[in-house]
Chain A
Amino acid sequence: MLEHVQLDQKTINKDLLGGVLGTPSWWLPTVLFLTLVVFTGLGAFGYMMNKGLGVTGLNRPVFWGFFLVNFVFWIGISHAGIMISAILRLTQAEWRRPVTRAAEVMTVFSLMAALHTPLFHVGRPWRDFWVFPYDFARGVWPNVRSPFVWDPSAVMTYLIGSSLFVFIALIPDLAVVRDRAKNVWVKRLYSGLCLGWRGTPRQWKLQAVAGILLSALVLPVFVSVHSIVSWDFAVVIGVEGWHSTIFAPYFIIGAIHSGVSAVAMLMALGVWMWKLDKYIRPDHFDAIARLLIVVATTWFFFFFLEWVFALYTLEGPEIVLRELQVFQWPYSALFIVFIVTAYFIPVPMWMFKSVRRSAFWMLITTILVNVGMWLERFIIIIPGLLRRQPLTFDWGTYHPSIVEILIVAETFAFVALGMLLFSKLFPLIPLFDIKEGMTNRREFKIGRLTIPATVRE
């Protein structure tokens, strides 16, 4: 049940457009720093493109490294958008309102960050477009059996879907910005972007229908994107530990775990950096933390199942791999950090109401979850690739090079920078959605008790 904070429309406009019409003092230095990191990463990519993948730590048989770990991580984060805006919208969860846009925007930018990887990690990046059924002059259709053909189509579908979703939800707010813009050029820009929004009943109806349609249409992508990413690994019989049928649901639930955590992190950051505490209330944190407990525990169940399935076969190579993951340095240390940060610290903490209602502790725990989930992908991908398999002659080692680390850092800076630039141009919390929520709210008095409620026609 949501606690009631009634604000008038003027306050809402003033608060939520604060980031767009004014600039917080920390904004410019942060953006400059992130731009520096992004350009360093791009420089590292240019260097790698010039010299070849030899400048990475990749070798034979560890053909995939940090890049693929990062790819899976960002696709996982991108699941936040669908979870929050589509599923919570369709289930009419009231607490989603302030976070839908931030979640969707993060989806868009994390998908772009994920797309960096296939672009960067292949041997000849300038030929990447060959995986699309596009270059008919070559006379070769892409191999539709390969998950690397499904990957770009699924990710692009998701990217287009969520960009449209962001835009549809933005239109009414763009009109608000247009009406308040002082500079004539800014006014023209927003006039163009809001597509002539006048706020007529017909326009509102179309906008609402488009939002619901897009959430419903994007739902299949919710299942498909990370399943396909998991098949990048599950179809491979050459690597022990990858060839598992549980990978698709396991990856999806892992993606939701990291994605929803990332949304909670964004909410906490919003409270901390933009002072949005009037809109993102402790009960919002409470609701998302309850959801997170369920998601994290489901994820942990799948994680456990994956181990059961692996060890149940009692095959030598599989047991060797699991020993490597758990007992051998440095994977042992990473494994402990992973399991503790992804589950055993945050979930017991979320059990306490005081943690669930505190932006600070939610920030800490959700950052921990995402550290853990990055490591989870590392633990899945790298130890398997070391190939501690019967052909012992080719056992591998892997040490990421500085180039890989810079490029991974670049993807993080890219998403943060994207979010910050977006927050400068557009309100991060949907104004109309908040207003709608406020309008729908009623209070019922039963005896001496006041009960907040949401009224829908």
Chain B
Amino acid sequence: MAESWGMIVDLDRCTGCQACVVACQSENNIPINEEEHFNQRRAIQWIRVERYWEGEFPNVRARFVPIFCQHCSDAPCEPVCPVYATYHNSEGLNVQVYNRCIGTRFCANGCPYHARFFNFWEPEWPESLTNQLNPDVTVRSRGIMEKCTFCIQRIRRTKRAATKSEGDSSAETIFANPELERALSPACVNACPTDTLVFGDLFEMLSARRAGERLPKPKNRAQEIVRRELQDAENGRGYRVLEEKGTNPSVIYLSKVDKETVEEAVSHG
């Protein structure tokens, strides 16, 4: 059974604490971003928390939007790669094959989410951190692209573990067991203290959405949220970033709920 991995980002819960960024950085062997890298605009952050200010002083609000690869079903980065370094796999993941990449950076221009990163320099770690590198993740070299993989190494490892212990590696089996679910979910999801990020198999939801049909009965927690928030255009909070570009992303954002809007809704109630 093919999955279509997807993520839900509840912006109402996000506090902008950056735990996901740190978790991703250490899980995926991302080089340390020093001040210099940010000044050069070449920092690599597979997940970044974009901060926007809204409103006029004194009613200013910070908005936090975690942005990472949206694993689009119709990804604009995929058809432009001349060497098939990026392609869509059968699990709905937009995967990056580092060894194939020659670094044309065509994909990065294609991506409207700016989710792709180029290794402008040979990545380096301080001596003290070399033993911290994750052995399951390739250490990328200079001159190639990289981006969020939805922690594909965790997905693979958990599927193997599930086959061993439960005799089945389907998403249902894995999500029935909280321990396996935790092992499968990407590092950012596990690190998030406010449960902003929810990872799951959105196959039925995404394919129904793509075909323009009603969303079917949910099979797991992520699908439940999607059904609740994306189905109802009036009251649901679900949306996909830059969906109008036709990229069909696999990440669903739930919009922020302001105190005022809630109060207004209650008073009109």
Contact = CB atoms under 8 A, between A and B. Distances in A.
B139 to A, nearest CB: 15
Nearest to B79: A145
B102, B109, B122 — most chain A CB neighbours (10 Å): B109
B191 interface: no
Contacts of B81: 143, 146, 148
Interface string B41-63: 11100001011100000000000
Contact of B111 (A64, A238, A242): A238
B221 interface: no
B102 A127 contact: yes
A64 B109 contact: yes
A123 B143 contact: yes
Contacts of A130: 82-83, 100, 102
Contacts of A237: 76, 110, 112, 245-247
B41 A397 contact: yes
Contacts of A385: 109
Interface residues of A, number: 48
Interface stretch (B113-121, B192-200, B201-209, B226-234): B113-121
Contacts of A232: 106
A122 B103 CA distance: 5
A397 B42 CA distance: 12
A124 B118 CA distance: 12
A130 B81 CA distance: 11
B142 interface: yes
A60 B82 contact: no
Interface string B69-87: 0000000100111111000
Nearest to B143: A123
B50 A59 contact: no
B219 interface: no
Interface stretch (A50-58, A77-85, A184-192, A204-212): A50-58
A236 B109 contact: yes
A54 B120 contact: yes
B143 A238 contact: no
A385 to B, nearest CB: 7
Contacts, number: 143
Contacts of A146: 79-82, 106
B10 to A, nearest CB: 19
A242 B79 CA distance: 16
Contact of A148 (B42, B104, B145): B104
Contacts of A390: 242
Nearest to B67: A391
B121 A393 contact: no
Contacts of B67: 391, 393
B42 A60 contact: yes
A392 interface: yes
Nearest to A389: B112
A387 B67 CA distance: 16
Interface string A127-168: 110110000001011110111110000000000000000000
B101 interface: yes
Nearest to B244: A315
Interface in A229-244: 232, 235-239, 242
B104 A393 contact: no
Interface in B217-261: 242, 245-247
A27 interface: no
A61 B82 CA distance: 20
Contacts of B114: 60-61, 387, 391, 394
Interface in B9-68: 40-43, 48, 50-52, 67
Contacts of B88: none
A396 interface: yes
A64 B113 contact: no
Contact of B102 (A60, A128, A141, A238): A128
A304 interface: no
Contacts of B109: 61, 63-64, 236, 238-239, 242, 385
Interface of A: 51-54, 58-64, 118, 121-125, 127-128, 130-131, 138, 140-143, 145-149, 232, 235-239, 242, 385, 387, 389-394, 396-397
6 residue pairs, one from A and one from B, having the closest CB atoms: A123-B103, A123-B143, A59-B41, A148-B82, A63-B105, A54-B120
